[in-house]
Amino acid sequence: MATLTEPSSSLSFTSSHFSYGSIGSNHFPSSSASNPEVVSLSKLSSNLEQLLNNPDFDYSDAEIIVDGVPVGVHRCILAARSKFFQELFKKEKKISKTEKPKYQLKEMLPYGTVGHEAFLYFLSYIYTGRLKPFPLEVSTCVDPVCAHDSCRPAIDFVVQLMYASSVLQVPELVSSFQRRLCNFVEKTLVENVLPILMVAFNCKLTQLLDQCIERVARSDLYRFCIEKEVPSEVAEKIKQLRLMSPQDEETSPKISEKLLERISKILKALDSDDVELVKLLLTESDITLDQANGLHYSVVYSDPKVVAEILALDMGDVNFRNSRGYTVLHFAAMRREPSIIISLIDKGANASEFTSDGRSAVNILRRLTNPKDYHTKTAKGRESSKARLCIDILEREIRKNPMVLDTPMCSLSMPEDLQMRLMYLEKRGN
C-alpha cells in the first residue's frame, strides 16, 4: 500500500483531492468508503481537526494573532504544509521554552486583510485537507431573498481566503479559490468586481485579472471611481479597452476632454476636502454638481463633515440619478455611514427610490451586510453596528413615508433612540 510520503499515491494529503472538485464539500464519495486508504486518511483528517476544535487537545506551541484574538497553532504542521511558514519559523529567534512565540497575521500580509473566520477556515484545510462549507455568518448577506451565490459577503470571504492562500503559499487552495472568483465576475454587480480585481492584481493572478478588467471595461462604472479604486496601470488598461469598444451615442454620449478636465478638478477638490474651491469651480464654469456626479462621489469618498458642507451649498439634487440609475442615497448605502444617510434624508433624499435594476438603498445595504456584522454589538454591548444602524434608519424612513417624493425630512422627526445611537457612534469614532 502506498504511504503518505510516496509520490505515486493519488491521495496525497497535501493535494486538493480531498475537495473532490467542490469547495464546501465535507464528505468523501460513497464509492471510496470501502477503500482502506481513504478511510484511514479520513480518520487521520478528523483526528488532526481536534487539534483545532477540541480544547482538550490544546497542545499548540505558537499563537497567531488575528483581529486581536490569539489562535493556537502547531508549527510542525504549518511548516510541513506551507513553505511560507517553513521559512518564517526558520528565521525566528530563540524563545524561552516556557513561552509560546506569537505572530501577528497582519504583519504577514503585505496587502489585503484576512478576518478571524477566514483564517480559521484556512487553518482547517491546512490541518485536515478538507474544504468545508463556508461559515454562513460571514459568507452570506442579510437579504432574505438573496441566493448568496454572488452577494458581497460571499465575495469578500473568498477574497480573504485567496489572500491567505496566496501569501501563505498553499497553491492548491489558490487554484480552487481562483475558480470560485472567476465564477463571481460575470454573476455579480460590477462594483463587487473591484475587490476581486484587487486580489487578482496583488496576488498576480493574470487570468482572473484580465477577466475583471474586461468586465469593468464594458460596464458603465464611473471613470473617476475606477481611477480612485484601482492601480493606475489597471485603470489605464480599462480606459484603453473602452476607447477601442464601439459606443452607442444615444446611451453612452461621448464626453469632451474639456468637460472631463473640469469634472476632474471638481472631484480633486472634493478629495482635498476643499468645499470653497468646489463652490468656486462650480460658480465659474458651465458644469453643475449633478453633471459631475459630485454628490455621488462625495458620499462615497469624502469625510461625513465635508458631505454635510457640500449639501449645505444647495448646488446639487440629492435625488439626481447618475447614468446607471443610482441616486445619491444609493451610493451612500454602499458607504454604510449613518451620519451621511441622515444628512441626505434631512435634505429630502427619498429612501423609497429604486435603481434601474429594482433595488432600494435598503436592498443595497442588506446585500452588503453579513449576519455577523448585522447582529454584532459594540464593545460596550449597547449599540448596533453601523451597518445595522443604517438599515434601521432607512427602514423607519420608508415606513414613515413609503411613497413620498421630494419632501425634506427633518432630523428632529427621527426616533430618539436612533438619534442617541448615532451620537454614540460619532463620539466613539472621534
Q: Where are the domains of the chain?
A: 287-429
Query: In which residue are the cell numbers 454620449 written?
Result: 253
Query: 287-429 is classed in which CATH architecture?
Result: Alpha Horseshoe (1.25)
Contact 26/66 with Cβ under 8 angstroms?
no
Return per-residue pLDDT of the chain as tens, 430 residues.
333 333 333 333 333 333 333 444 444 455 555 677 777 767 767 766 776 776 766 778 899 999 999 999 989 889 999 999 999 998 775 555 667 889 999 999 998 899 999 999 999 999 998 899 999 999 999 999 999 999 999 999 999 999 999 999 999 999 999 999 999 999 999 999 999 999 999 999 999 999 999 999 999 898 899 999 999 999 999 999 998 876 544 344 556 788 888 899 999 999 999 999 999 999 988 889 999 999 999 999 999 999 999 999 999 999 999 988 999 999 999 999 999 999 999 999 999 999 988 899 999 999 999 999 998 875 555 567 889 999 999 999 998 875 543 333 333 333 444 444 454 444 444 4
Residue whose cell numbers read 503559499 = 169
pLDDT value for 245: 75
Give the residue from 5, 68, 64, 4 showing the smallest Cα distance to 38: 4
Q: What sign does the dihedral 258-263-269-272 (CA atoms) show?
A: negative
Which residue in 26, 228, 216, 51 sits closest to 129, CA to CA? 26
What is the phi/psi pair of residue 174, to 5°?
-55, -45
User: Using CB atoms within 10 A of its CB, is residue 139 exposed (0-12), middle (13-18) or buried (19+)?
Assistant: buried
What's at 349, amino acid-wise? A
